[in-house]
């Protein structure tokens, strides 16, 4: 069983059936799935995107640097929302970031990460990598390395990695497992190349799975084969 997990979620999951905004039902769903896992003694860090608030193409007129900074602040909004959702259910968490100084956000340091885990808190990493031009996938890989995660789990609305978009192509092939080299060579878009390279460098396996099928996250942590495993070939 995994003992320390980095969970990456896209911001779109928080909007539920809507295209934008925050859906309290989705916040509650995330809390339920995560709480079932922390009850097993697992330590969890979370990185969430901001696609429910801003998409790069929607604000492209401000330029890539400013658009990325807006997106980084969007992840802070979503992180505080998750923090509030956990608090509502009596679950301790902390928001850590390097880009902002707000009452609900603490400064991100290695000591802060370890202290939070010792205090049995969920760690929510906000603000991306703290630099523009990097995706939240890369931020997730970076934070996974910083927290010495056993695995990076990317929670999506699909059940794994496919050769092409299964919603558009009926002949799309689902992979049970892939090496990082294979994923990079095939230019699979489920995660960006820099995130794969960072995880490969630190030997952190990646699992892409359907987070929103009830109980999937808990089953995966218990050892069930769920989703697609991307790993370092020995």
Q: Which residues are part of a known binding site for UMP?
A: 68, 129-136
Which residues make up each annotated binding site for ATP?
A: 8-11, 51, 55, 156, 162, 165
Tokens of 65: 């640097």
Listing from the earlier edge strand, what are the strands of the sheet with 206-210? 105-107, 93-97, 122-125, 43-48, 4-9, 151-156, 206-210, 228-231, 177-179
Q: Which residues of 150-161 are buried (b: 16+ CB within 10 A; e: fewer)?
A: bbbbbbbebbbb
Distance CA 8, CA 153 (A): 6
Place of tokens 């489920």: 190
CA 228 to chain centre: 15
CA 94 to chain centre: 16
Distance CA 23, CA 38 (A): 23
Which residues make up each annotated binding site?
A: 8-11, 51, 55, 68, 129-136, 156, 162, 165
């Amino acid at each position: 069983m995994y003992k320390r997990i980095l969970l990456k979620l896209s911001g779109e999951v928080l909007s539920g059936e809507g295209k934008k905004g925050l859906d309290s039902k989705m916040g509650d769903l995330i809390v339920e799935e995560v709480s079932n896992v922390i009850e097993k003694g697992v330590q969890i860090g979370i990185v969430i995107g901001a696609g429910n608030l801003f998409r790069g193409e929607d604000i492209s007129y401000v330029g890539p640097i400013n658009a990325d900074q807006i997106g980084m602040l969007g992840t802070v909004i979503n992180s505080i929302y998750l923090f509030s959702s956990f608090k509502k259910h009596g679950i301790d968490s902390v928001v850590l970031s390097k880009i902002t100084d707000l009452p609900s956000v603490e400064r991100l340091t290695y000591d802060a990460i370890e202290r939070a885990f010792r205090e049995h808190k969920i760690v929510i990493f906000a603000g991306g990598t703290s630099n523009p031009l990097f995706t939240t996938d890369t931020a997730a890989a970076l934070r996974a390395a910083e927290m010495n995660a056993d695995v990076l789990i990317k929670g999506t609305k699909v059940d794994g990695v496919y050769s092409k978009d299964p919603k558009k192509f009926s002949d799309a092939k689902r992979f049970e497992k892939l090496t990082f080299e294979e994923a990079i060579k095939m230019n699979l878009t489920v995660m960006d190349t820099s995130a794969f390279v960072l995880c490969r460098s630190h030997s952190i396996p990646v699992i892409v799975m359907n987070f929103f099928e009830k109980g999937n996250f808990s089953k995966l942590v218990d050892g069930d084969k769920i989703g697609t495993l991307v790993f370092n070939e020995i």
